[in-house]
Structure 1
Amino acid sequence: MKATLRIPSRNVKPRLSRSLVAPRPGVRRRPARRSAIAQLPSPAPVGISPVEPAATIPPALGPVVAVPAATEAWERPATPGRDAFELYLREIGQTPLLTPEEELALALKVQAGDDEAREHMIKANLRLVVKIAREYEGFGVPLLDLISEGNMGLIKGVERFDPAKGAKLSTYAAWWIKQNIRRALANQSKTVRLPSHVVEKRVQIRAVEARLMELYGRMPSDSEVASELGLEAGWVRHYRQALVTPSSLDAPLGGDEDSNRLADVVADPTASSPFEEARANADTDLVHEVLDTLNDREKQILELRFGLGGDDERTLEEIGGRLGLTRERIRQIQERALQKLRVRIEEREASEMIA
């Protein structure tokens, strides 16, 4: 099965209450690369089930796509996406791995412009892409899309590989694969784009956490992870938070579009509860009721001082100028009126408790 590779694209005022990555050089042989892309097996789109019944992963894939126990995914319930992934694994497993001699011979042919040799090298190393893509899984981009991006990096690595430098193709191509995957994560996984080095740091943190968890039998602390990476503990927390995927408040909570949205169940910390509103209204009614027990001057001074009549709060000097009294006299009347209010409110609350 062959397919074209997918390219992912108040009533009472408070005072009264108180008183009360860089790319490499240009690509060579662009037409040849397009030919290689067209003939690559593609991770099947999510939602398309394999034609043949599910089968186990070929033995040849064992050492290449081995995943740490902490991130093992083979025991997850069957889903269309997983079926497509396993189908892709079976397909790429049909091409045997290259021996060092075969790799050298094919690399020399690729340098000479042999398209068939290039396609053979690419197909023989597709399992390397899967292994690397699994390291970046869980950061907001589907695994099959990560594999597609990594395949593009593999093609670049094969085209630029020079066996005379003494490096293995897997070592050289891994850089290009990771670069493409990191770039996809930076561009696609967040509402705000993140630098690729932040993505890479988060991957390193996760790998260290898995290793220390296996060593200690518990989740390592930020300080322990930071010590392994040569960072400060604060930076470990920073990198973790940077890759938290945002959720839309308009996103439905269920599969049905008519289900509740996230905004319907997220509490507003600034909003008061119905109980608090009812209590505030009751307190307001009580304050206005006991205000009516004061004489006209006391009531007027408190209303002006605390803005109870809907006007702005006034200073003692402003009230004194308006009533023709000194600042100190206004303060004395205010204190006497507040004391009366306290007594009236305490009496009212006591009577309600007895009743």
Structure 2
Amino acid sequence: MYAGICYILYNQKSRPLEYVRFGGCILGRKEQIFGSQMNCLLERAKKQKNVVELQEIRDVFQNSPLTQAQLERIIAYLEEQKIDVLTMPDINADDIEDDVGEIDSLNDMDVFQKPDRIGNVQVTAEIEKGYEKTAEESENSFTERGNAEDPVRMYLKEIGRIPLLSSEEEIELAKRMEEGDEEAKKKLSEANLRLTVSIAKRYSGRGMQFLDLIQEGNLGLIKAVEKFDYRKGYKFSTYATWWIRQSITRAIADQARTIRIPVHMVETMNRVNRTSRRLLQEYGREPTPEEIAEAMNLPVERVLEISKISQEPVSLETPIGEEEDSHLGDFIQDEHIPVPADEAAHTLLREQLEKVMDTLSEREQKVLALRFGLEDGKPHTLEEVGREFQVTRERIRQIEAKALRKLRHPTRSRKLRDFLEE
């Protein structure tokens, strides 16, 4: 099964991940190592309710560093196997401007960890404390702004009627869920809808509507309900925060841009931006691509490529001017369309050339047309033209030379000389 995977990892020209069985093919040593590492990764995911973190993938393959393309193929394969890959693309204070307070106190953590591995008890406590606070204030904060859409206010009022759960109630519902109680799943999800709102509002203004962010966050909340293990000892809100953020950030990466950028490339772009801002503070000026590349231990070409990818597309229909009666596309020259003056000159030249060619014999016209590509734009060799007329290449050369001598005669060349001088 893993023969195809290992082969594809080392065959960069192959199509995106396809699960081809290679039968009795003999794998090289590196491919055998990859097969063993994939086995280890799948076993780890199976023990974790079909969940694996992006960092865990990198840890498994730390002795065989993955390229970006290989990492994306592995993630695609895991998702095909119904294994959730938890990717949190650089969620930190640098990337989320003005994110302060309650849940965003987590942003100082550089590496994503599941809550059962978090050693910082204060961080966990702040999540739970922040959730209690935002659960009470979520509706008021949007109502006070006065610019919320009616559907948003209606949704906030609706979820505000649902009471919060205590730790004991969460454990009781989790036990019922293990027994297959669907009503318990629904109750646990609905009781934490305000948590999704409190997290989603941190991502507003990133190319997606607020209700869409809530919708995506709720999908992560549902996933958290399915994966929650009360035996680990942390509150559900602590655990669900990661899934909600994962779902929202992935949706932003997939949907917010006109041209989709992979989640892992977004992560790299965020690192470049963060490094650029840090160097800006150190130097007091905009850092050069060379300085950013040195700080990140990347090639300069890679930094320039990332900077180019991060540019936002601009619509050709963007209004221009105070009255907005013009569009950006009106001021952009199409380099593939000839300048009108040049087009007119070429048209006149073609007409004169046709008149001059008419003074030649039909055979001479045909030979020149084929040799210089006047018919199809593709010049033909003497041998190709000879096959067309069923004569030798030497005979074609003689016909061509004779026809050109005729065209050089002053009576004919005078009509074309003015165009050549231009």
Q: Give the TM-score normalised by the residue count of structure 1.
A: 0.48
Higher helix share: 2
Higher relative CO (Cα under 8 Å, sequence separation at least 6) belongs to 1
How does the TM-score come out when normalised to structure 2? Answer: 0.42
